Structures are given as C-alpha cells and as structure tokens.
Amino acid sequence: MYSLPTEILQQVFAETLYTEKTYTTRELYSCILVNRQWCMTGIPILWSHPFHPDSRILQQAKLVDIYLSFFMTRNCPEEIASQPLFKEQQQNQLYHKIKSIENTNDSVFVYPYFANTIDFNRMIKTVQLWCILNRITDEIFWDIIAGILIIMQSNAAIVDRITWPIEAYEGVKLLKILKRYPEIAAWLSHVSSIRLMLGNFFGSFMDSQTEHLNVAELPQTLKQLEIDVTKINHFKRHEQLTTFLEITKKFECLKYIKITGPFHEIELLVDALRPSAATLLDISFTKLNCSHYIGLYDLLEFPNILELSVCGWTESPNNFLSFLSEVKDRNWVITPKYFSIREKLNNDELHFDFRFEKNSGVL
C-alpha cells in the first residue's frame, strides 16, 4: 500500500466515505465493495503510464505479454487480424508467441484503454528485456513495438503525453512505424505534450538530402514542450535550439515550454523564444547561467506570460538580488524553492530555483 501513488489512496477513501452527498462507512463493511472500489480506482491510474521509468523493468516485461494477448481476445476489434503486422508475421516467431499467450490473460479490464502517457525510451528497454527473456530475435523487435501501439490505438487509448526516444536511430525507427501504420500516426497526432532530447531529435527528423528538419509528423495540438539540450555541443546548442523554436511558431496551441540546459547566453535564448512569445503562458528553465540576467527582464515582458520558473546560478549575487527586488515592484510574485550561496575562489555563486507568477491583481 505504501508504494501506491497518492492519487489512488485519495480517490479510494474519498469515494468510499462519500456516497449520495452523505458521509457513510457502510461500504467498508463489505470486502467485495471495498475490493471493487480499489480496483475501479487503482487500475486506470496504474495503467495510465504503463512504461514508467521509476518502475522495476523486470516487472514491466510482463506487460508485453498482456498487451500482445489483446491481439486474440474479444477486447480487441476483429479487424486487428487483418492488420499488415499480423498478416506478415503469420509464419514467424512473433505469430507463434502471440498464439502461445492467447489464452493466458483473461483480462477483466481493457488495460490498453487506460494508457495516456508513453515513455518510448522505457518501452524500448522493456521490449528489449522481454525479447531476451523469451529468446526472441532482434528481427521482429520493432514489430513488437508497433504491435503494442496498435493495441493501444485500437482500444481507444487517449495518449496525451509522450517522451521521444533518446537515441536518434530509435527515433528514426519509430518514424518508420508511423509511416507504415497511418492509423498510429493519426492516433498520436492529438498528443499535447512531448519531452525530447534536442540533439537526438534532430538526428531523427533531419532529412539527409535537404538537411532540413522534416517535422510534418509532429502533432499540431502541442500545448507543452520539454526540451533537453544537455547533450548538444556548446557551439551547436544555440543554433539547434533557435532552429527548433522557430518551428514551434506553427503550434498555435503551445502554451508551455521547459528548457533544460546548461545554457549561458540567456539573451540568445530570449531571442529564440520571441517567435512564440504571443502564445506562451508559462516558461521554465533549468541549469541556466543568470550571470547576465538582463534577458530575464525581456521574458517577463512577453505579452501573455503568467509564470516563469528559473533554476540556475549567477556569479553576481548582489546584482541578482537587486533584480529580484525590482521584479517585485513590477507586480510579480516570487516564490523561492531553493536558495544557496556557495563560496568560490574569486567570488561567490548564488544557486537558486525561483518561480515568478504575475500578480493576479494586474491580470
């Protein structure tokens, strides 16, 4: 029980003790009703993020069997049997493996339906382990990935958030799946939040002939974008980030951007964000060098910005504290999450994590 997400505990006890607008404990006297309440509340939450990076991967390997079992059960639409994946694999090990697990999972719940978050990095690692445990060759590895996505899509899962593969070649393979199965591409086209490693993302989407980003597959419904530039060479960081943020102008629904550094040229970062300034409501930075903090003034002047989170450091503590004082005078509420001054050889460094929120009185 202690390892269960807090959300499950809150919902179970709230619903168990509150019935028809009157508080009651009568459902607690029935083991069946209590167990039913646990299942009806817990299963959708636990299966909403099936390949969670914090879960034990050995246990997650069992999920692959459960998902593949839906190819043959009543929970899966009949047209699944005519999918290209299934037809092409009838004579190989994937087909026989699916047949062997066909009757082992008589599921009470349609688990694929509950998925709303997909971490492709974790999914790929989980399927790799599953293949090793089941002595499945690498030849059909990406067919298994496609099969899991087909099961989720065919069972009407509403995926809202994805984490793009870290390795560029894995991103390329995933794009090939989207091109091969238009129904999966259409299904993921409604995703509203993507987290990605920018350098490897370029490797996935770069057209080798034109050397331009081919981002036609990106969902136009994006509202949140998390970009990690940590692994990009310092000299290419600004160029790639600027190029990518220029593309984000076409995402009319984009409201939130989070950028994980390190990033030293804050003024350049502000310039890269300007094309999207009109729509952004919330911006977040981590590992940001704010020694030249003047650019933060410009961010706070974006027309619709309501919140700005900055986690980083500065080599000019006194000047930065003066900046914070001035920001308060501009009707911004500053919430410090972390604040520490560290001694260096020549000067002190201020390390911090602040959140700036526009005062509701001036909205």
For residues 289 and 310, what is the distance between their CA atoms, to the nearest angstrom?
10
From 259, 240, 254, 362, select the one nearest 308 (Cα to Cα).
259
CB-based contacts of 357, cutoff 8 Å, min separation 6: 306, 307, 332, 333, 334, 335
How many CB atoms lie under 10 A from the CB of residue 346? Answer: 5
SS (H, E, C) the chain: CCCCCHHHHHHHHHHHCEECCEECCHHHHCHHHHHHHHHHHHHHHHCCCCCCCCCCHHHHHHHHHHHHHCCCCCCCCHHHHHCHHHHHCCCCHHHHHHHHCCCCCCCCCCHHHHCCEEEHHHHHHHHHHHHHHCCCCHHHHHHHHHHHHHHHHHCCCCCCEEECCCCHHHHHHHHHHHHHCHHHHHHHCCCCEEEEEHHHHHHHHECCCCCCECCCCCCCCCCEEEEECCCCCHHHHHHHHHHHHHHHHHCCCCCEEEEEEEECCHHHHHHHHHHHCCCCCEEEEEEEECCCCHHHHHHHCCCCCCEEEEEEEECCHHHHHHHHHHHHHCCEEEEEEEEEEEECCCCEEEEEEEEEEECHHHC
pLDDT band at 331; cut points 50, 70, 90? confident
Instruction: Note the pLDDT of residue 77.
Output: 45
Q: The tokens of 66 are what?
A: 């459960």
Q: Which residue has the higher pLDDT, 89 or 223?
A: 223
Over residues 3-62, the pLDDT tens digits come to 566 666 666 666 555 555 444 555 555 565 666 667 777 888 888 999 988 778 778 888
Burial (CB < 10 A; 0-12, 13-18, 19+), residue 243, is: middle
Over residues 159-206, the pLDDT tens digits come to 999 998 888 888 888 988 888 888 888 898 888 999 888 877 776 666
pLDDT band at 117; cut points 50, 70, 90? very high
Over residues 260-270, the pLDDT tens digits come to 878 777 787 88
Over residues 93-105, the pLDDT tens digits come to 666 677 666 555 5
How many CB atoms lie under 10 A from the CB of residue 153? Answer: 19
Q: Are 357 and 333 in contact (CB under 8 A)?
A: yes
Backbone angles phi, psi at 206, to 5 degrees: -75, 130
Domain 197-363: CATH class, spelled out: alpha beta
CATH 3.80.10 in the chain, residues?
197-363
Question: Using omega within 30 degrees of 0 as the cis cutoff, is the peptide bond preceding 262 cis?
Answer: yes
pLDDT band at 126; cut points 50, 70, 90? very high
CB-based contacts of 262, cutoff 8 Å, min separation 6: 230, 287, 288, 289
